[in-house]
A and B are shown apart, each in its own frame.
Chain A
Amino acid sequence: MKVRQGFVSNSSSSSFCIYGICVEDIESLVDGNPKLKPKIYEKYVEEQKKWGEEILPEEEYFENVDSYDLRERLEYLLGMEIYKPGDWGCFYIGDSWSSIGDDETGKQFKERVEKELKETFGEGLSFSTHEEGWMDC
C-alpha cells in the first residue's frame, strides 16, 4: 500500500533550534497512545477525502503508515515542529524559540510547550533546547 505524502513542511530545513523533546521513533509514541491515534486517523481520512483517494480502515492505515507521514500529521495536530536531521538520530518535537510570542516570556513559552506535549504524550518527558544544523545531500 502506498501512503501518500502530500505536503511539504518547514521541517525540511537544514537547521533548527527548538524547545521540546527527543524521541527514538514516533511510531511507538503514536502506537501506545489511544487518544492520539483516532485524531491522526481522522486527519488522514479528511485528506484522503479531499484528494478523492481510497480510505483504508484504521488498523490497515496504521500498519502501513511510514514515519514521514506520521510526522506530518503530528506536526499538524500539535501545531509544533518535528525534525529528524538527515537519516540518523532521533526525532525532535517542539516549538522553535523564534516563535515566542511578542508578550510571551521565556518561562511562559517553556510552560506552553511542556503543557502541550504532556497533554499529548503524557508525563515523564524530558524537555530541553535542541539545536542542530546539517547539510541536505
Chain B
Amino acid sequence: MKIRTGFVSNSSSSSFCIYGICLEDEQVDSLVRGSEGLKDKIYELYKKDFKKKVYPKEEFFEDIWDDLFYDYLGSALGLEYYSPFDDGSYIYLGRSWCCIEGEETGNEFRESVEKTLKDGLGDGYTCKTHEQ
C-alpha cells in the first residue's frame, strides 16, 4: 500500500492535546495491511464520500492521499487523528481531552480511548497524552 504525501489539511497545522497513541507511517501501513476488517471499514467510508466515481478496493489502497487515508482511519476507529508534520512521518490517534463528556471521569475517558484502540488495532499500544 502506498500512502501518498503532500496533501495539507487542517489537521496538519492545528494544535492538539489528545490521549492516545503516536504511530509512524510505516506502522500504520502494516497494521492496515494486516487487517481486512479495518480496510473494509475505510473503503466503505471512501465509497460513501465518493458515490459517483470510486476506485476498486485494491487500487484505492495502492494510491490514496495520506491525509484522506488518515481521516478515514480515524473515522473507522471512531477517533481523531492528527498529522502535525508536513512529511506525514507520524500520526496521532486518540481523543481530545477537551472533548471529555460532562459526566465522564478522567479514568473513564482514558479507558474508553484504550478500549477503542484495542478493539480497532489490537493489543500492544500504550496510550498517553500527546500535545503539539
Contact = CB atoms under 8 A, between A and B. Distances in A.
Interface of A: 13, 15-17, 19, 96-98, 100-107, 109-110, 129, 131-133
Interface residues on B, range: 20 to 34
A107 B105 CA distance: 9
Contacts of B104: 105-106
Interface stretch (B9-17, B44-52, B115-123): B9-17
A107 B15 contact: no
Interface stretch (B23-31, B56-64, B65-73, B92-100): B92-100
B36 interface: no
A49 to B, nearest CB: 36
A104 B17 contact: no
Per DSSP, chain A at the interface is mixed
B107 A17 contact: no
Interface string B72-91: 00000000000000000000
Given A15-B132, A129-B98, A98 B19 contact: yes
Grouping DSSP codes into helix (H, G, I), strand (E, B) and loop, the B interface class, with mixed when no group exceeds half, is: mixed
28 contacts: A13-B131, A15-B15, A15-B17, A16-B17, A16-B131, A17-B15, A17-B16, A17-B17, A17-B131, A96-B17, A96-B97, A97-B17, A97-B96, A97-B100, A98-B19, A100-B106, A104-B106, A105-B101, A105-B105, A106-B101, A106-B104, A107-B102, A109-B100, A110-B102, A131-B15, A131-B16, A132-B15, A133-B16
A106 B96 contact: no
Contact of B103 (A13, A97, A102, A107): A107
Given A15-B15, A15-B17, A19-B98, A101 B106 contact: yes
- Which 7 A-B pairs have CB atoms at the shortest separation, nearest pair first? A133-B15, A97-B97, A17-B17, A107-B102, A106-B100, A15-B15, A100-B106
